[in-house]
Structure 1
Amino acid sequence: MNKNKKVFMWYKIKELSAQGLNQSQIKLELGIDRGTVRKYLLMNEAQFLEWISTPRRMPKKLNGYYNFVKKLLGNAPYLSAAQVEDRLKERYTNLPDVSSKTVYNFVQTVRKEQNIPKYKEKLPRQYEKLAETEYGEEAQVDFGSYRMLSRGSGRVKIYFFTIVLSRSRHKFIYCQRMPFTTESANYAHELAFEYFEGIPRRILYDQDRVFITDENLGDVLLTEKFMQFTNAHPFDVVFCKKADPESKGKVENVVKYVKHNYLKGRVFQDIDTLQKEALLWLERTGNAKVHGTTKRIPKEEWEKEKQHLLPYNGKPEKPFLKLPTHPVRKDNTVLYRSNYYSVPLGTYQDRDTKILLEEKDGKLFFYTGDNQLLATHDLCLDIGRIIKNNDHAREKSKTLQKTYELVLESLRHIPQAEQYLAEIENNRPRNFHDSLRVMQKNIERSSAEAINFALVYCYENKILNANRFAEVLNYFEKEQGLENVKHSICIETGGLNKQQNDDMQPQKSDINEYESIMN
């Protein structure tokens, strides 16, 4: 609002007030903020003119971070000023010591100058305030999930466990890629007890299938492994209804806080990095800033509360997590986050073929169903790429040479064999390897004499197709007696075998009978 508009607005507010309108009515009449109405009404004319003539000097301490905040808001315009403050602290260790209000004003200036409005969000749920519990008395547990941004490949769904000490509001979170099971939830508890340096006397839960198997009017049946866990630790279990703000609103607020202050706008790299950054966020922001309700810093309150917690002497042991399965495509690749990764040739068997996949430290590990390592790839941050390991493909040159030598060895007693194979290769080089496999398959089940006659016949008649060779071989092997075939071929071809005994009288066979099967 420029100076002239401010002058007009002051006089207009005074006029409406003189007419008997209250602040709310003036706000509606002029379409301005009620705080502005109140401020203008408190000033007389002299005070107002002095106020608008005083130059406004905005804080300069954060000007050096203008471009960083501009880029941050440009990529994620929905970020709050509190989130921007946290990212500044995360990125710059030498950030000036300024109040949150100064950061808020700076963020609003950047938004206005760069025309980056904040997306409107739904109003938060309203919770009933409960009486404060004693130190060390209570904690609340809940789960959450969030689809995080991922570099170059859409979004990645993250699951997290969170627990908060009810008195101090000291929080702990644990993130993983898969939905929580009883074993992983127990492990998250152990990590929290270690982080809190103690155990509260009771913990409040939702009626989640991770913890219970059945419920009947308040009587719950715990899962076997959660029962074993609770029996091994000195705290009482209290179950509430799901999404019950009157009973466990503290932790539900924490779930929302984690989603919108820590995860929102953050780019996923890998789960280990995310968990490390989560603990740093807790130290820097989650447990280090003044709590909106208690007006105290959770970490400082925890220093008092930990003196009242029950001792924890255990050691967290990470359970074996069942890896997610992924289907194998016909071309022996696996689609993961919009990229195609190769697996060894022959992995695909049918439409139900699946493998296990683990992402860790920027790498992908592919396993068989019994956890045998199949392949390893670097995680690709782009999309639409084919990431191939040459060792997974068939080594065509070596395999071709091996097959050729095998066929030639089977035909070594036939003088025309090497030349015949050369002519097949020259005729259809792209199909040469497949032709060799067809020939070898048929040679293995035929007699040496039949092979000899079939190859000589095909060589002299320029039959350069492996399947036709197999037909000829099958004809000589099965359709006629071998001795009759010898004489028939001698007569029809002009004497391929001129060493016959003069007194042998072979039965003639019409070669047209064979040639008819080739047409």
Structure 2
Amino acid sequence: MNKNKKVFMWYKIKELSAQGLNQSQIKLELGIDRGTVRKYLLMNEAQFLEWISTPRRMPKKLNGYYNFVKELLGNAPYLSAAQVEDRLKERYTNLPDVSSKTVYNFVQTVRKEQNIPKYKEKLPRQYEKLAETEYGEEAQVDFGSYRMLSRGSGRVKIYFFTIVLSRSRHKFIYCQRMPFTTESANYAHELAFEYFEGIPRRILYDQDRVFITDENLGDVLLTEKFMQFTNAHPFDVVFCKKADPESKGKVENVVKYVKHNYLKGRVFQDIDTLQKEALLWLERTGNAKVHGTTKRIPKEEWEKEKQHLLPYNGKPEKPFLKLPTHPVRKDNTVLYRSNYYSVPLGTYQDRDTKILLEEKDGKLFFYTGDNQLLATHDLCLDIGRIIKNNDHAREKSKTLQKTYELVLESLRHIPQAEQYLAEIENNRPRNFHDSLRVMQKNIERSSAEAINFALVYCYENKILNANRFAEVLNYFEKEQGLENVKHSICIETGGLNKQQNDDMQPQKSDINEYESIMN
């Protein structure tokens, strides 16, 4: 019971007692122990207030392990209470059965009494208010990403480039669906120069892999394409120290502003619409409202600053953006935004199989690595769905019929052929297609005479397994086997008329004779 509750309970007990209730009745009324009622009734107000103000000094169950914990924290102050608890259990088999919260409180007590902080205190960084840069002197660049709401129940991750003129705080943003490359970052720069109607003399950057290949102890090595870009435009490149975002705080604030004022709560439709709306947002809000630091409107300040910017005479040319890759699952589907989309059967080859994916106008386009269109699907706005194109599945019925016709054509000269195939299908319908493929494979490389002997033998002896049929066929294909059985098997149908053919009964041979031949 906390202190406030105790105070309330004391006054309530006194009130009920004054109304004539005895201790048992007060106990039932308040749902507390009768001993507590008696103890509270024996104290006047001054005694009660003194009692609840005096901290209870209960002996700690872990006091006997104080020196061990003190030494442990002294050698390794970074250890957590959970780690200390484990070391205690490891060292002492008779450790009292206490909760983890008790161990935590004990560790905190030891830290406080022995002045052992968990981490060394870092001296606060000292800041100095810098003078505003001159008009046209500087801009700052950074990237951001945000998971936007989508028209379905999931979210869509978008990436954006932002640049701000340091003096006027005039901003520009450019959004796209995939992470920025050097080419797309260069394109975003040119869009910004066109929007600003000029180029600042100096631009500050993070040490991002889009721009540099190596810090090289301050002598930064630029990526080849960014070096070509900077050589073609009259501005100086300045890179901040690694992991020091505060050195370009103006653009860091813009990134947060874009996320929480423009993107937050907005429903993603498509990237072109998002970019158009971004420019409209800049016009009415991002560059139109009074800036919190300068107390001026960025757009009005930009009217002054653009006169000091270096001229930009180029024309932005959108680069060919390589589409993002997505792994193909072994069931020939692609997982995208929590849904499974089918691709043609056989697309999956191994665990490294990937395809390119483009989302445009509410549709998904799947391409091979060499940009050949694989499949097209409507974008599903739900989650957990399987979106399947029936053309991607194996057309079993058509393939089976085609295989059956091929086999039957190969056996057309044998009267028993159609009946034999029907019996194979009735015997193992699920494996009938595979059986036909085995038969066709072996028939193609065998002579007509061997096929005749093998099929009649299998038909008469009810051998309804395609692999066994292949074994029999291979045997008869051997010259010596064929010579041995020619005298005992005779298929003569050419000289019979239809009536004789209908009345004819197939000749039956002694199975023992064939068994001796096969063995």
TM-score by length of 2: 0.69
CA 1:491–1:308 in 2, change beyond 3 Å: closer, same or farther? closer
Q: CA deviation at 1:306?
A: 1.8
Q: Deviations over 1:395-414 (max 9, x none)?
A: 23332222222112211221
- Higher deviation after alignment, 96-105 or 253-262: 96-105
Q: Deviations over 1:327-357 (max 9, x none)?
A: 2222211111111111111112223222122
CA 1:226–1:253 in 2, change beyond 3 Å: closer, same or farther? same
Structure 1 CA distance for aligned equivalents of residues 7 and 242 of structure 2: 54
Matched position secondary structure for 1:384: coil
- Higher deviation after alignment, 233-242 or 101-110: 101-110
- Higher deviation after alignment, 64-73 or 225-234: 64-73
CA contact (8 A) 2:493 2:501 kept: no
CA 1:2–1:286 in 2, change beyond 3 Å: closer, same or farther? farther
CA 1:290–1:158 in 2, change beyond 3 Å: closer, same or farther? same
Q: Deviations over 1:457-483 (max 9, x none)?
A: 222233333233222222322484212
Matched position secondary structure for 1:140: strand
- Higher deviation after alignment, 72-81 or 457-466: 72-81
> Structure 1: which 5+ runs fail to align?
none
**1:54 correspondence with 2:58:** no
CA contact (8 A) 1:151 1:381 kept: yes
Q: CA deviation at 1:207?
A: 1.9
CA contact (8 A) 2:168 2:305 kept: yes
CA 1:346–1:299 in 2, change beyond 3 Å: closer, same or farther? same
Q: Deviations over 1:387-428 (max 9, x none)?
A: 111121222333222222211221122122223223333444
CA 1:107–1:507 in 2, change beyond 3 Å: closer, same or farther? closer
CA 1:456–1:209 in 2, change beyond 3 Å: closer, same or farther? same
- Higher deviation after alignment, 103-112 or 455-464: 103-112
Structure 2 CA distance for aligned equivalents of residues 57 and 288 of structure 1: 63
Query: What's the Cα RMSD here?
Result: 17.6
Q: Which residue of 1 aligns with 2:456?
A: 456
CA contact (8 A) 2:460 2:508 kept: no
- Higher deviation after alignment, 249-258 or 6-15: 6-15
Q: CA deviation at 1:358?
A: 1.8
CA 1:505–1:382 in 2, change beyond 3 Å: closer, same or farther? closer
Q: CA deviation at 1:440?
A: 0.7
Structure 2 CA distance for aligned equivalents of residues 438 and 358 of structure 1: 42
CA 1:285–1:48 in 2, change beyond 3 Å: closer, same or farther? farther
- Higher deviation after alignment, 464-473 or 204-213: 464-473
CA 1:434–1:297 in 2, change beyond 3 Å: closer, same or farther? same
CA contact (8 A) 1:168 1:298 kept: yes
Structure 2 CA distance for aligned equivalents of residues 112 and 354 of structure 1: 57
CA contact (8 A) 1:484 1:508 kept: no
Q: Deviations over 1:140-163 (max 9, x none)?
A: 111122233344454333222110
Q: CA deviation at 1:253?
A: 0.8
Q: CA deviation at 1:171?
A: 0.7
Q: Deviations over 1:462-519 (max 9, x none)?
A: 3333233222222322484212122355699999999999999999999558659999
Structure 2 CA distance for aligned equivalents of residues 389 and 153 of structure 1: 23
Q: Which residue of 2 aligns with 1:272?
A: 272
Matched position secondary structure for 2:52: helix
- Higher deviation after alignment, 358-367 or 477-486: 477-486
Structure 2 CA distance for aligned equivalents of residues 164 and 390 of structure 1: 51
Q: CA deviation at 1:39?
A: 45
CA contact (8 A) 1:463 1:469 kept: yes
Q: CA deviation at 1:223?
A: 1.5
Structure 1 CA distance for aligned equivalents of residues 110 and 181 of structure 2: 44
CA contact (8 A) 1:162 1:174 kept: yes
Matched position secondary structure for 2:503: coil
State how many pairs are aligned. Answer: 519
Q: Deviations over 1:356-402 (max 9, x none)?
A: 22222222111111121111111111111111111212223332222
CA contact (8 A) 2:170 2:298 kept: yes
Matched position secondary structure for 1:491: coil
Q: CA deviation at 1:179?
A: 2.2
CA contact (8 A) 1:214 1:222 kept: yes
Q: CA deviation at 1:298?
A: 1.4
Q: How does 1:82-481 map to 2 (within 5 A)?
A: 129-152=129-152, 154-242=154-242, 244=244, 247-478=247-478, 480-481=480-481
CA contact (8 A) 2:206 2:245 kept: no
CA contact (8 A) 1:163 1:192 kept: yes
CA contact (8 A) 2:475 2:481 kept: no
CA 1:205–1:453 in 2, change beyond 3 Å: closer, same or farther? same
- Higher deviation after alignment, 184-193 or 272-281: 272-281
- Higher deviation after alignment, 140-149 or 225-234: 140-149
- Higher deviation after alignment, 341-350 or 351-360: 351-360
CA 1:56–1:501 in 2, change beyond 3 Å: closer, same or farther? closer
Matched position secondary structure for 2:184: helix
CA 1:310–1:61 in 2, change beyond 3 Å: closer, same or farther? farther
- Higher deviation after alignment, 143-152 or 435-444: 143-152
- Higher deviation after alignment, 107-116 or 170-179: 107-116
CA 1:493–1:80 in 2, change beyond 3 Å: closer, same or farther? same
CA contact (8 A) 1:184 1:321 kept: yes
CA 1:208–1:368 in 2, change beyond 3 Å: closer, same or farther? same
TM-score by length of 1: 0.69
Q: CA deviation at 1:134?
A: 1.9
CA 1:357–1:182 in 2, change beyond 3 Å: closer, same or farther? same
- Higher-Rg member (1/2): 2
Matched position secondary structure for 2:32: coil
